[in-house]
């Protein structure tokens, strides 16, 4: 399925999905920089498990987005930490919610910077799961779809250039596409976390986003790390439902999956170089055990070589400086 030009226009103009001169080249134009925006927080507060990455107020997020754009990074990915949580995660679709407010502020200051809104309920639910829970504690897939759709519409209406569903509910891409189209938001691309594995490498993120499950785990809806063929099937399903970009997460332990997905689709493929991968390199570099710059550039080049067109990484600002 050819991806719609109308929806990817904003992605293309930043260079994020342009044709590439070298298949394995790593350039700043391939990078997306994740940011954590906190309601009512300090302008900038360090995240201990992610050295160099901060919790940001809305004003701090605008500053950080400006730094990213000045370095040539074409896109930022926003995660929000709300002032309050509830069982449904209602802060996710609040039109005055933290991601919505940050999106408006960043787009007002830097209209040419691509703002991608992560779409999930885990940061907003009191129980930490990516959807609403039934009485037996199991995530209710279909009930969650309705809330994700409300969130997607709210984020897009706030000015997000793309929304990125990371929840891994079945059928959510088609549901979100229909909801956006029904609200006149047919040009908003969907960057789908298609193959998101139940990974041990998410630990620092869960601290940063305050999103660890309070009971149980996410293996009921995230993927078994042993299942590469299932990953290709999930990406194909998302493509059929209307995804504009498919994603593999994490990246480094799943380079083979990135390659399999790349070979199976004509869509742009994104890969998320996740928090645990980042934290390991930072810790080893701080101990003097490896050359941080060389290790990061080699790792991200490996992700590109595996077939990723887009690399989401906390290293983005450093990489942009090193590649200058």
Q: Do 153 and 105 contact (CB within 8 A), yes or no?
A: no
> Within a 10 A sphere around the Cβ of 191, how many other Cβ atoms?
29
Taking the C-alpha atoms of residue 151 and residue 149, their distance in angstroms, rounded to an integer, is: 5
Candidates 311, 161, 300, 180; CA nearest to 242 is 180
| Residues in a beta bridge with 40 | none
Q: Tokens for 200?
A: 């041990």
The phi, psi pair for 167, rounded to 5°, reads -80, -30
Q: Tokens for 155?
A: 């984020």
Taking the C-alpha atoms of residue 148 and residue 136, their distance in angstroms, rounded to an integer, is: 21
Candidates 123, 116, 102; CA nearest to 32 is 116
- Which residues are part of the catalytic machinery? 196, 249
Helix axes 292-306, 255-264, angle to 10 degrees: 30
Measure CA 176 to chain center. 16
Q: Tokens for 303?
A: 């992700």
Q: Do 132 and 85 contact (CB within 8 A), yes or no?
A: no
Token pair 């409300």 in the structure block, residue? 150
Relative to beta strand 114-119, strand 75-81 is: parallel
Q: Provide the Cα torsion 264, 231, 147, 114; round to 10°.
A: -50
The phi, psi pair for 90, rounded to 5°, reads -65, -20
């Amino acid at each position: 399925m050819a991806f719609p030009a109308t929806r990817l226009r904003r992605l293309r103009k930043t260079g994020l999905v342009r044709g590439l001169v070298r298949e394995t080249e790593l350039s700043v134009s391939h990078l997306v920089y994740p940011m954590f925006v906190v309601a009512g927080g300090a302008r900038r507060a360090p995240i201990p498990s992610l050295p160099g990455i901060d919790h940001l107020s809305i004003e701090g997020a605008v500053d950080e987005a400006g730094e990213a754009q000045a370095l040539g990074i074409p896109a930022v990915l926003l995660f929000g930490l709300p002032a309050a949580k509830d069982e449904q995660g209602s802060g996710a679709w609040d039109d005055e919610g933290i991601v919505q407010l940050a999106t408006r502020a960043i787009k007002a200051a830097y209209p040419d910077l691509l703002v991608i809104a992560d779409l999930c309920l885990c940061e907003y639910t009191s129980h930490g799961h990516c959807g609403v829970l039934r009485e037996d504690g199991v995530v209710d897939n279909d009930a969650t779809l309705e809330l994700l759709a409300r969130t997607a519409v709210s984020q897009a209406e706030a000015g997000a250039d793309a929304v990125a569903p990371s929840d891994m509910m079945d059928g959510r891409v088609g549901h979100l596409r229909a909801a956006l189209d029904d609200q006149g938001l047919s040009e908003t691309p969907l960057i789908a976390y298609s193959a998101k594995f139940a990974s041990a490498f998410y630990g620092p993120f869960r601290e940063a986003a305050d999103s660890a499950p309070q009971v149980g785990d996410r293996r009921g809806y995230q993927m078994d790390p042993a299942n590469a063929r299932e990953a290709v099937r999930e990406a194909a399903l998302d493509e059929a439902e209307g995804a504009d970009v498919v994603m593999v997460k994490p990246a480094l332990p799943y380079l083979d999956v990135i390659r399999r997905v790349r070979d199976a689709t004509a869509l742009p493929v994104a890969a998320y170089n996740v928090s645990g991968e980042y934290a390991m390199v930072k810790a080893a570099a701080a101990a003097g055990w490896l050359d941080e710059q060389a290790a990061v550039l080699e790792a991200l080049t490996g992700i590109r070589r595996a077939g990723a067109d887009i690399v989401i990484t906390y290293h983005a600002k450093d990489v942009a400086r090193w590649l200058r």
